[in-house]
Amino acid sequence: MKHLLVSTLLMLLSQIALADHHKNSIVTQQIAAAKTFFALDTPPAEADALLHDDFEFVFMGRAQISNVVYTKETFRSVFMNQVFGPLVPQGFKKIEFIHAFGDADNVALMAEGDAEGINGRYNNSYALILRFKDGKIHRLNEYASDLLVETALYKQQLMPMD
């Protein structure tokens, strides 16, 4: 009886360890997919293949480009090519991933980007929150300094409050 109890306990522990390993494997794969999506050397077709058919992107905040939902069809064609792309016409020189973590459904990337904007240097910090569905990026919320977007890219000036 004692032998059966020990065997059952060992089997349960190994199943828990296997499930935890599987979960960690999924998180590792999703972090890799998120980094690949944002990597400067990833071809657009390869990056787009990581997106779920029901993909949605939102640049969060209060900048002129904030709070508009872009789909898989409009993310690159409208947001990247017509909205944000013209503000940094030479693209980013560097994107550095500072930290990444996640769970079975979500990944958070902390990144720093360096680009030449239309009005000079644009180096922002980002929190990129990705939700996964069916192994693909389903939703992407991008958080950055919208103050920097407005001042560096749109040349808005800060006005003192009276």
Could you tell me the two tokens for 18? Answer: 């296997």
pLDDT given at position 162: 74
Could you count the other beta carbons within 10 Å of the beta carbon of residue 5?
9
Q: How far apart are CA 101 and CA 99, in angstroms?
A: 7
- Residue 103 domain-assigned? yes
Amino acid at the residue 60:
M
Kindly state the average pLDDT of the residues 101-112: 94
Predicted confidence band at 104 (pLDDT cuts at 50, 70, 90)? Answer: confident
Domain range enclosing 77: 2-153
- Residue 67 domain-assigned? yes
Kindly state the average pLDDT of the residues 24-44: 93
First to last CA, the chain: 81
CATH code at 22? Answer: 3.10.450.50
Q: How far apart are CA 42 and CA 38, in angstroms?
A: 8
pLDDT given at position 21: 47
Could you tell me the two tokens for 139? Answer: 């939703």
- Residue 101 domain-assigned? yes
Rounded to two decimals, the pTM is 0.82
Split into its structural domains, the chain has a count of 1
Condensed to tens digits (0 to 9), the pLDDT of residues 147-158 reads 889 988 888 887
